[in-house]
């Protein structure tokens, strides 16, 4: 184990790549290890590709603060570097009085989080903005948008590489051991098994991040780091229906449910889809369950009266890495330098679920500051 690097990042999703682009620089050896064939093969590419504004999350939580900050940073990044995006806005629509009460709570929460431009819409105002939507009140979030996540990740890969970082694909971390000067990382790639040393180890392993924490000796159950897989399916919408709405359309989230509800989203080409739903599962399986089509149709028809059952076609599945199990209360992201556990130089990022894409630049800045403190004290 003669080879030593400065920083090792486990996982080449959007968070790991954003951090790599933040911490890489001349004279510093930075490696990103990715078990898949290329970057962004899991949650980072299997999502709604929405630039969120920060409506839903409790005030002062990491999810709230990094979302509001990340929203502004991400738009600035996209504009500066030509990354495909559109600020199309989002409407959260209430269809009955009970939902209006919940809607008002989210409006107050969003304002408290510092979300810019939020408006409560009456039924008449909703009809002016989206005449083909059914609802009695709504929140309009003008700062919500959509992004080409693949181009964003490609930008981070390029920036990290330009600054001297290396990304190793088809390279799985199989063990981690604490050493006096950092960590011994055991990996397996196409050529076999080998080990190397690193001063700083950043765990951005997404769906496997609790397992990586376990490798270094953290009791994930005691720490509250155990992840729960939450599956979300998407159905594309045909029949020319994409021309009938111009913004992202969301229902009011239901208390106790794992997701934000089946909603309307678009890609940058204008293709419309519904999703995702939210079902806790024990295994990772990316096959779309066509039997969910009826449930998708019935859910969307409450606020999209123009939708027909035959408009829907299976598209894709994503898996969220949630810290809370089904029925449990809100859990915030874990972004922690684990020095208090006797693991200086080990940084955990666990439960970074949607909208992690929006938060990637803000999280990268946050972790970058942690890393500079660690290296300064090494």
Q: Which residues of the chain have pLDDT under 70?
A: 1-2, 378
* Residue owning tokens 């806005």: 89
CA distance 333 to 360: 12
Domain with CATH 3.30.9.10 in the chain: 50-147+228-322
Domain with CATH 3.50.50.60 in the chain: 4-45+150-226+330-377
In the prediction, which pLDDT does 72 show? 95
Q: Rounded to 5 degrees, what are φ and ψ at 199?
A: -75, -40
In the prediction, which pLDDT does 187 show? 98
173-191 per-residue burial string, b: 16 or more CB within 10 A, e: under 16: beebebeeebbbbbbeeee
In the prediction, which pLDDT does 257 show? 80
3-class state of residue 88 by DSSP = coil
In the prediction, which pLDDT does 378 show? 58
Please check whether residue 35 is in contact with residue 228, taking contact to mean a CB–CB distance below 8 angstroms. no
CATH of 50-147+228-322 given 1.10.12.10, 3.30.200.20, 3.40.630.30, 3.30.9.10: 3.30.9.10
In the prediction, which pLDDT does 280 show? 96
In the prediction, which pLDDT does 224 show? 95
In the prediction, which pLDDT does 241 show? 96
Question: Where are the alpha helices (H) located in the chain, listed in sequence order?
Answer: 14-23, 62-81, 97-112, 123-129, 149-162, 209-215, 220-223, 293-301, 356-377
Strands 192-203 and 4-10: parallel
- For the full predicted model, state whether its pTM sits above 0.85: yes
Task: State the sign of the Cα–Cα–Cα–Cα dihedral 241, 117, 53, 59.
Answer: negative
In the prediction, which pLDDT does 2 show? 61
3-class state of residue 346 by DSSP = strand
Half-sphere exposure of 296 (CA within 13 A, CB side): 29
3-class state of residue 375 by DSSP = helix
Question: Could you read off the pLDDT of 2-42 as tens digits, one per residue?
Answer: 689 999 999 999 999 999 999 999 899 999 999 999 999 99
In the prediction, which pLDDT does 259 show? 86
Question: Residue 95: which residues within 8 A CB-CB, separation 6 or more?
Answer: 134, 135, 136, 251, 302, 303
Please check whether residue 332 is in contact with residue 62, taking contact to mean a CB–CB distance below 8 angstroms. yes
CATH number of 4-45+150-226+330-377: 3.50.50.60
């Amino acid at each position: 184990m003669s080879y030593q690097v400065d920083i090792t990042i486990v996982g080449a999703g959007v968070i790991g790549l954003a951090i790599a682009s933040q911490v890489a620089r001349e004279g510093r050896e930075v490696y990103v290890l990715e078990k898949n064939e290329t970057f962004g093969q899991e949650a980072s590419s299997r999502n709604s590709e929405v630039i969120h504004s920060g409506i839903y999350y409790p005030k002062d939580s990491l999810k709230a603060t990094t979302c509001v900050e990340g929203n502004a940073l991400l738009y600035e990044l996209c504009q500066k570097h030509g990354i495909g995006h559109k600020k199309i806005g989002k409407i959260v629509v209430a269809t009955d009085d009970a939902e209006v009460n919940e809607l008002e709570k989210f409006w107050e929460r969003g304002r408290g989080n510092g979300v810019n431009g939020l408006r409560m819409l009456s039924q008449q105002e909703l009809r002016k903005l989206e005449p083909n939507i059914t609802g009695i009140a709504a929140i309009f979030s003008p700062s919500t948008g959509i992004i080409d996540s693949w181009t964003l990740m490609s930008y981070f890969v390029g920036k990290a590489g330009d600054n001297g970082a290396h990304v190793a694909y088809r390279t799985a971390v199989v063990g981690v051991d604490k050493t006096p000067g950092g960590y011994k990382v055991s990996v397996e790639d196409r050529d076999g098994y080998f080990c190397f040393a690193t001063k700083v180890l950043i765990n951005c392993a997404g769906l496997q991040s609790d397992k990586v924490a376990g490798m270094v000796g953290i009791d994930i159950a005691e720490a509250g780091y155990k992840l729960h897989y939450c599956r979300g399916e998407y159905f594309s919408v045909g029949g020319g229906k994409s021309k009938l709405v111009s913004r992202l359309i969301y229902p009011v989230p239901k208390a106790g449910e794992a997701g934000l509800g089946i909603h309307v989203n678009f890609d940058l080409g204008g293709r419309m889809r519904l999703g995702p739903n939210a079902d806790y599962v024990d295994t990772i399986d990316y096959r779309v369950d066509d039997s969910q089509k009826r449930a998708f149709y019935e859910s969307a028809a409450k606020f999209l009266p123009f939708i027909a059952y035959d408009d829907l076609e299976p598209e894709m599945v994503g898996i969220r890495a949630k810290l809370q199990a089904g029925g449990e209360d809100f859990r915030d992201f874990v972004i922690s330098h684990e020095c208090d556990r006797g693991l200086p130089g080990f940084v955990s990022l666990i439960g970074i679920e949607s909208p992690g894409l929006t938060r990637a630049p803000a999280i990268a800045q946050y972790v970058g500051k942690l890393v500079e403190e660690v290296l300064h004290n090494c």
